[in-house]
Amino acid sequence: MTDLKKTPLFDLHETLGAKMVPFTGYLMPVQYPLGVMKEHVQTRTHAGLFDVSHMGQVIVRAKSGTQADAALALEGLVPMDILGLGVDRQRYAYFTNENGGILDDLMIANRGDHLFLVVNAACKQADIAHMRTHLSDTCTVEELEDRALIALQGPAAQDAMATLTNATSEMKFMDVANVNLMGVDCWVSRSGYTGEDGYEISVPTSHVEELTKALLALDAVEPIGLGARDSLRLEAGLCLYGNDIDVETTPIEANLTWAIQKVRRNGGARAGGFPGAEKILDHIENGAPRRRVGLRPDGRAPMRDGTQLFADGTSDNSIGIITSGGFGPTVEGPVSMGYLPQDLAKVDQEVFAEVRGKRMSARVVALPFTPANFKR
């Protein structure tokens, strides 16, 4: 425990009564006195505030030329259209390897003269090293170590932000802006990891506690821990790196084809040119052998990650695996995501899982489990 890092909000978490646990090398709040269930409901119905300062914040900037040079360079590592990303717009992306697997997923924002990236905590040092290895001839890759990151999520997030500024109310989903909050220059995106409307706010470390306290002072806002963050993203059908996606999973298997714009696919102006392009583009054209799906188990017992899936109630031959699972407070029942062979990855398909020594039935359902409430 003594080797674990602490975010700039660690002392505040303890003051708020958080239960702290190890997570990706940091001590992070898993829940507060409100409890995971109520924190989940709070975020769905009002607003929740998350400390996500363990995530990596990175600036990629072309050494010479324009931002377009940095965008083209980064396209050599991701299958996304970065060159066509508008100024002050953000896009979901993922780094791929030579076999078409996913090294990490991330967010990329076009800030005019540079690209701003947010990467996962568990992968951030590997991601930064990966970018420096492949981009250093044309770009600088700067890890920002003097900024924290918080996320304000939920239907009351817009009104909560409006108590501090009028600048964020008209932002749309995936917009990014520089916003003055309590006299400090913050970088705000209208995005998040819960399926709800909300904002992610990059703020100088020296001011993050003051800003966090100001938001928590509002009646509609409560602090939310990792437990509810996980159940919220699961209900929203969002992948957790290391569980639902990894280096052995292609984006097409992961049901993330939507994130690859047409310009990077076969027939597009800049088709291919990223690691694993041959396999990924083949999967787009001809299908992948398996597919990530949503599952609704019968009964009340959750089917958690690592649970094997079977075609019937007696077979010993596994046909797939659960990668995320738990109780969904919004849908009032267990929810899971996992992988099935392509021919079984269809809505209403019945499969079985081994739960507490018994074979339990589950059905494939469309994702997400609960509709997204993004402001389009």
Last residue of a domain, one of 211, 235, 259: 235
Residue at 265 is within a domain: no
On the question of pLDDT at 1 being above 70, the answer is no
Ramachandran area for residue 349 (φ above 0: left; ψ -120 to 50: alpha; else beta)? beta
Same domain? 36 vs 164: yes
Q: Supply φ then ψ for residue 268, to 5 degrees.
A: -80, 160
C-beta of residue 216 within 8 angstroms of C-beta of residue 68: no
Same domain? 155 vs 223: yes
Instruction: Please write the tens of the pLDDT for every residue from 157-173.
Output: 999 999 999 999 999 99
**Per-residue confidence (pLDDT) for residue 67, from 0 to 100:** 87
Average pLDDT, the chain: 97
Residue at 111 is within a domain: no
On the question of pLDDT at 180 being above 80, the answer is yes
Assign residue 159 the CATH number of its domain: 3.30.1360.120
Interatomic CA distance for residues 354 and 327, integer angstroms: 17
C-beta of residue 323 within 8 angstroms of C-beta of residue 309: no
- Over residues 101-114, mean pLDDT: 98
Residue at 117 is within a domain: no
Same domain? 196 vs 326: no
Same domain? 231 vs 293: no
Interatomic CA distance for residues 89 and 112, integer angstroms: 10
Ramachandran area for residue 145 (φ above 0: left; ψ -120 to 50: alpha; else beta)? alpha
Query: For the sheet containing 19-23, what is the strand order?
Result: 5-6, 26-31, 19-23
**Per-residue confidence (pLDDT) for residue 292, from 0 to 100:** 98
Residue at 270 is within a domain: no
- Over residues 249-265, mean pLDDT: 98
**Per-residue confidence (pLDDT) for residue 314, from 0 to 100:** 84
Interatomic CA distance for residues 58 and 60, integer angstroms: 7
Same domain? 28 vs 152: yes
**Per-residue confidence (pLDDT) for residue 83, from 0 to 100:** 98
Residue at 139 is within a domain: no
C-beta of residue 78 within 8 angstroms of C-beta of residue 93: yes
Residue at 204 is within a domain: yes
Residue at 375 is within a domain: yes
On the question of pLDDT at 305 being above 80, the answer is yes
**Per-residue confidence (pLDDT) for residue 357, from 0 to 100:** 85
- Over residues 225-233, mean pLDDT: 98
Q: Show the domain range for 226.
A: 5-46+146-235
- Over residues 308-325, mean pLDDT: 94
Q: How many domains does the chain have?
A: 2
Instruction: Please write the tens of the pLDDT for every residue from 12-70.
Output: 999 999 999 999 999 999 999 999 999 999 999 999 999 999 999 999 999 987 889 99
Same domain? 193 vs 302: no
Structure tokens at 43: 């975020």
Same domain? 332 vs 203: no
Assign residue 351 the CATH number of its domain: 2.40.30.110
Instruction: Please write the tens of the pLDDT for every residue from 270-290.
Output: 999 999 999 999 999 999 999
Instruction: Please write the tens of the pLDDT for every residue from 319-358.
Output: 999 999 999 999 999 999 999 999 999 999 999 998 888 9
Concatenate the DSSP letters of all residues of 22-41 into one string: EETTEEEEEE-TT-HHHHHH
Residue among 325, 280, 302 nearest 98 (CA): 280
On the question of pLDDT at 237 being above 70, the answer is yes
Residue at 51 is within a domain: no
